[in-house]
Amino acid sequence: MIQYPTIFSFFSGAGFLDLGFETTGYKIAYVNEIFPPFMSAYRYAREMLKLPEPEYGYHQGEDADVGKLINGNSAQKLQELIKDARKQNHQNNTQNNIIGFIGGPPCPDFSIGGKNRGHLGENGQLSSAYVELICQNLPDFFLFENVKGLWRTTKHRLFYESLKQRLQENGYILTERLINSIEYGVPQDRERIILIGFKSDFLKVQEIKILELNNFNFPWSQFIKYDKSQVFDFPWIKTEPFKENSFTNCPDHIPQELTVEYWFLRNNVVHHPNGKHYFQPRAGITKFASIDEGDDSRKSFKRLHRWRYSPTACYGNNEVHLHPYKVRRISVAEALAIQSLPSGFILPENMSLTNMFKTVGNGVPYLAARSLAQSILEFLKI
């Protein structure tokens, strides 16, 4: 019997990354999220999707403080859970006994449009803590996700390289890629740096040969559906005059499945439980109607085009995304669709709108998460 890897999830948010791994076969055993509203959303969404509770439970608040998981009683408890997970797999007489960590530490301190405080910022320090957590517990593999600013911006790149060096010193062989979610069928232009590492002694046991330590044959491209350079060369409509409640057909010669309207229809967002969850403006309705469909040139008040992909789903820092043909902001259901989540993924009604949009914007798009999970399985020959 094949045993799929057991996952310990950190900075879990509402569980988009976890869901991508779980629906690919992995076992989500441990969930860690310090912000209680996000954890409540995670639990609620799992209930709606009829998924089992993680074997080692949900860890939130102080219990989920990554810093405390490095030292003290919390650290010891985590180590015991990991040992138990390995023991269970072994008792099942399975060939694979694999433990993985996945997580995307909060990233505003590395974001070009965010606080840009770098590794000294409160959120920036969490990236160091996550790497230290990996080095202390030595999972067989890990996934680290963050904004492209950590990888591309000169002032942050030195810090990123120091994290990689720390991981290599602890026996990890690394591979990285700047991905764009649109490559995986997500209707969104969203770039993120993905760093994946495998313990070198684990790979030897698995009889996986590595020719070059930092350039091994990881199947990054195998589950890509669209070449991003070709996607952006399609004849996308740029802007059109806004017409409330208008109807237009999808133009020829573009991939319809990468458009927001395709996903709005696919997820039946009008009748989705989160379909009426959107901010009601106190003023500015006139401004809402004055912005052309598809005009996303502003930092805020971007209007989506129904027959084009969305800009990065980011709904903080006063960034407002407008519905293509309604005089309003997009709804939570529409934002979930833009993140390529299944229509059965629902956020709890008693969650604040601010927290709903924050957790949606912070999440890893579901189809991207699935493809990354599949790539790891392919590499491990599972």
- Residue 310 has what DSSP assignment? B
- Structural tokens at position 84: 């138990």
Q: What is the longest distance spanned by two Cα atoms in the chain?
A: 66
Question: How far from 152 is each of 158, 180, 203, 300, CA to CA, in Å?
Answer: 10, 14, 29, 23
Closest residue by Cα to residue 287 from 309, 299, 304, 302: 302
**Phi-psi region for residue 141, left (φ > 0), alpha (ψ -120 to 50) or beta?**
beta
Contact yes or no for 184/335 (Cβ under 8 A): no
- CB atoms under 10 Å from CB of 212, counted, come to 8
Q: What is the number of residues in the chain?
A: 382
Residues labelled as active-site residues: 107
DSSP 320-347: -EE-SSSSSBPPHHHHHHHTT--TT---
Q: Alpha carbon 152 to chain centroid distance?
A: 19
Rounded to the nearest 10 degrees, the angle between the axes of helix 36-48 and helix 353-362 is 80
- Residue 302 has what DSSP assignment? E
Q: What is the distance between the alpha carbons of residues 41 and 47, in angstroms, rounded to a whole number?
A: 10
Whose structure tokens read 């690919």? 24
Beta strands in 220-362 (DSSP E): 302-303, 321-322
Amino acid of residue 151: W
- The residues, ordered by sequence, that sit 6+ positions from 315 with a Cβ below 8 Å of its Cβ are 321, 335, 357, 358, 360, 361
Q: What is the distance between the alpha carbons of residues 347 and 359, in angstroms, rounded to a whole number?
A: 10
Q: What is the distance between the alpha carbons of residues 99 and 21, in angstroms, rounded to a whole number?
A: 13
